[in-house]
Structure 1
């Protein structure tokens, strides 16, 4: 497990499954309200993650579950998480049907670009990044300290954008969205927390955008 402590929130994460999926838990420190991001697999590990946040707020309570995209490895524990917590679920509108097919869960709140999830006094903005899947959503959080965090799903990693399966149109769509909606909008210090593996920052990746375009992945 890992932890990022900010003024307004504590962000904890755990890696699950053979795919090394990251499950994130955002706890607003003032109220204890919590958002799970990507209930990927292994509900006991997710429950342990939630239990580890017992002191992150005065009355910890899961109030929502957000999914970054429709792929099976990001939703394997979603039905169990929904059965356990019975809270609103969020995902990109264009991936709602796919998530239903993969998990059996009907997403309650389909999101479009610019929509927000409210966790206490903290807002997470939906950033629609088209290409890895039609409805892939990154979630951006701005802390009162000035620190910004992007939960990028499988759309942005250290070293490149997400898999577009050598489809030039999908790659062009994703690299354009990532360039315009992340790199042109967020400062270098912004944390990027991806769907698999380690984290990075916008500043670490910014110098490589042209290289990614040239290589086509």
Structure 2
């Protein structure tokens, strides 16, 4: 089935099958926040990005052990289910070093810009973009068999006074990434960096 990245709270997940990873996107909670379950094809190791809400649904989606839950930023509607999911799956909790104090669930592994997060034979790279909060993270998977994949949290849609404008993000830390980089946001439909750049005229 072709992956479209369109999900709705209460609806089925969408599955993006890559050469080495399987990415499952699901929307949960009253704010339809997106969560992403990544599974390494070879080892079966799993990692969840943002345990936003509806813990029973996320625990069922994981259906077993979970290496880690990464929280992209500390707004409560992106980690309401974190404590329950971590307890049920044995997952480590990870978040940006600047934001750990704002998350009520203790962070076992603080992440700094450039840190590598192993997942089976692959890894993600933490990128500190300070999008919707001062310490917000994006997570980059550089697919060896294809284009990069970027899990942005709210980093491209930050509306807080301290958030950089999207154009600054796209010409700053993200400038080296190609237009075909697939973007997985914390809310709404997927995009590409090319589409985001085109919309900003940069």
**Alignment TM-score > 0.5, same fold:** yes
| Higher CA-based Rg | 1
**Which residue is 2:136 aligned to?**
136
Question: Is 1:149 aligned with 2:140?
Answer: no
Retained in 1: the 8 A contact 2:66–2:90?
no
Per mean C-alpha deviation after superposition, the further-off stretch among 192-201 and 139-148 is 139-148
**Aligned counterparts of 2:165 and 2:102: Cα–Cα separation in 1:** 20
* SS in structure 2 of the partner of residue 134 of structure 1: coil
* TM-score normalised by structure 2 residue count: 0.88
**Which residue is 1:119 aligned to?**
119
**Which residue is 2:183 aligned to?**
192
The offset of 1:173, in angstroms, is 6.6
**Which residue is 2:94 aligned to?**
90
Retained in 2: the 8 A contact 1:153–1:194?
yes
RMSD between aligned residues: 1.7
**Which residue is 1:74 aligned to?**
78
* TM-score normalised by structure 1 residue count: 0.82
**Aligned counterparts of 1:176 and 1:79: Cα–Cα separation in 2:** 34
Question: Is 1:162 aligned with 2:154?
Answer: no
The offset of 1:189, in angstroms, is 1.0
Distance 1:172 1:154, change over 3 A: closer
**Which residue is 1:55 aligned to?**
none
Retained in 2: the 8 A contact 1:3–1:10?
yes
Structure 2, gaps ≥5 residues long: 1-12
* SS in structure 2 of the partner of residue 30 of structure 1: coil
Structure 1, gaps ≥5 residues long: 52-59, 212-217
**Aligned counterparts of 1:68 and 1:78: Cα–Cα separation in 2:** 12
Aligned pairs for 1:173-212 within 5 A: 175-182=167-174, 184-210=175-201
The offset of 1:178, in angstroms, is 4.1
